A and B are shown apart, each in its own frame.
Chain A
């Protein structure tokens, strides 16, 4: 068991990759063999992520370091040594992101088994799914800047392929082109910034760069490029144009994984701002830039959702606006990190807790939307109606997800959003007011969607629908369980899961550097 925990960082990346390459071969043996293989891999990944999280959270803020291909160095290094090989460095925030990815991978895979039952092309679908999961794990676990770029591009290619998967629909091809162009552009900005940092300091390892960084002009240019590139990939306004197309055109289970992909690039932004640059930049200015981006994202996301008539695009705009909440929480934390008041840590806890809440709620909403669209045969809200009479469980799940995302107690969205409101109010009351108003508008948007899809008289299309099969209901029920449990016992989860992650960013820069370089 200790051997598994020792190799867990790399197994979390290598096992899905192995599965992605083996799926076409195993798929030739039949659908059952392929589903078994993927189910085993996803379960193993979930178990490994849980073990890694327990190990890292229990070690009291000391990151775990894993060297690829190594065996000659022991960490932390002594003397004037610098690491030569690629390192994976897992601290509280990385383990937290690993938990989110494992949750969505598990539910997404099991939902896909039943969702994809009546179509062909399943081998390619699952292969791309596993490759995206491997890429996201690589992004959150790595401790090397160029390795981060490589995994960023892996997720970009896999995600764009998923968006354009249904080649017979013209909109998905247009969306796929747009998504791939934006992802590639963001990746090139990130690569340019990595090149600038490498040319300046001669290292690619995040811990070594963090120790040697000064705030020179080249570093500021690199910071600007990194901020632009990663915010573009996360879907922050004003570079959000690809996001509704992407989330709306991808198959329903994949939209949830695409949201995790955007959250992983947000993680990259936080890692770079807090750990790589740390105190060498003027954190107040950068924090306020993040806050402005966050407010724009929240507001534009919700207002654009109001005018949508397409169910999936509506949920997609909701997902875009929630990215703004995460940025708001962590932006408030960054803006005040110089003086370290108490509410800065609370803001970061809120922003980071909202990541897992948003993943669960938006995942639930996308799954339910997929079921609804398949049952109604149309994506247009104006033509649906009366589905709630026959699809009772689906309507309940959709309602829970929508209400939780809008921040109504006692669900988990309220817990994280309350932390964000509280801390943002202490910084500047206007921020909290705007955030609360947008939450109320989001609730209105979802009430409209729920009424259009589920309530009303039975129409012709809803005559012979029923709740989907158990294979699709169980993953949705699991996410609902997460939503309810996280909402009823927020204190427990904040103390045990979120606070180590928030403290790893807020206070843990020295621990991150010392785990590799020592002293």
Chain B
């Protein structure tokens, strides 16, 4: 097995763990952690896409001439995704704070006013 495939496997593992946490845990904060795990897995996957073997980093003071660089575009995509993840997590946690204030519990099985 090629050692270069390892980051992809780790990214897939993170996404699967995040999905498991989101689907099967009961605490609202754990749901948010599950979503954050999926985001981390997707970000890792995006950064790994740009890797070229033996490449140097794209921004470099006194860069050596005629060297292969890793792709900078996936790094920009990942950065945007991290920013979006920050806003999303902040909003989710604010909703969790309000749910706790109104219902007194963070158990997702007890927060079921809206049924049907």
Contact = CB atoms under 8 A, between A and B. Distances in A.
Whether the complex brings A and B within 8 Å at their CB atoms is answered: yes
Given A174-B111, A177-B95, A198-B73, 14 more contacts: A146-B77, A164-B98, A167-B98, A170-B102, A174-B113, A174-B114, A180-B88, A180-B95, A181-B31, A191-B81, A204-B73, A245-B114, A248-B114, A304-B116
User: Sorted from nearest, which 6 A-B pairs have the closest CB atoms?
Assistant: A170-B102, A177-B95, A173-B98, A199-B49, A153-B84, A176-B95
Given A157-B91, A176-B95, A191 B42 contact: yes
A188 B87 contact: no
Contacts of B20: none
B91 A181 contact: no
26 contacts: A146-B77, A146-B80, A153-B84, A153-B87, A157-B88, A167-B98, A170-B102, A170-B103, A173-B95, A173-B99, A173-B102, A174-B112, A175-B114, A181-B22, A181-B31, A185-B22, A188-B42, A191-B42, A192-B42, A195-B45, A198-B73, A198-B74, A199-B49, A244-B114, A245-B114, A249-B114
A372 B80 CA distance: 43
A177 B95 CA distance: 6
Give the residue among B45, B84, B95, B96 with the most A Cβ atoms within 10 A: B95
Interface string B9-42: 0000001000000100000100100010011001
B45 to A, nearest CB: 6
Interface string B44-57: 01100100000000
B69 interface: no
Interface in A285-334: 304, 307-308, 313
Nearest to B97: A173
Interface residues of B, number: 32
A177 B42 contact: no
A174 B98 CA distance: 9
A187 B103 CA distance: 28
A506 B46 CA distance: 33
Interface string B64-86: 00000000011001001100100
Interface string A263-274: 000000000000
Given A198-B49, A199-B49, A180 B113 contact: no
Interface string A163-207: 010010011011111001100110110011001001100001000
A174 B42 contact: no
A177 B84 contact: no
A172 to B, nearest CB: 9
A195 B116 contact: no
Contact of B91 (A150, A174, A180): A180
A240 B91 CA distance: 21
A163 B5 CA distance: 42
Contact of B39 (A188, A199, A244): A188
B95 A150 contact: no
Nearest to B38: A188
A473 to B, nearest CB: 31
A176 B111 CA distance: 12
A192 B95 CA distance: 26
A156 to B, nearest CB: 8
B42 A180 contact: no
Interface of B: 15, 22, 28, 31, 35, 38-39, 42, 45-46, 49, 73-74, 77, 80-81, 84, 87-88, 91-92, 95-96, 98-99, 102-103, 111-114, 116
Interface in A113-157: 146, 150, 153, 156-157
A192 B39 contact: no
Contacts of B73: 198, 204
A131 B116 CA distance: 31
A258 to B, nearest CB: 16
Contacts of B45: 192, 195
A171 B88 contact: no
A174 B116 contact: no
Interface string A374-408: 00000000000000000000000000000000000
Contacts of A184: 35, 88, 92
Give the residue among A170, A188, A199 with the most B Cβ atoms within 10 A: A188
A160 interface: yes
A161 interface: yes
Contacts of B103: 170, 174
B91 A185 contact: no
Nearest to B90: A157
Given A170-B113, A177-B99, A195-B49, A150 B42 contact: no
Contacts of A307: 116
A215 to B, nearest CB: 21
Contacts of B46: 191, 195
A160 B91 contact: yes
A153 B88 contact: yes
Given A198-B74, A307-B116, A185 B92 contact: no
B32 to A, nearest CB: 8
Nearest to B81: A191
A170 B46 CA distance: 38
B77 to A, nearest CB: 6
A191 B98 CA distance: 29
Contacts of B92: 177, 180-181, 184
A181 B35 contact: yes
A29 to B, nearest CB: 28
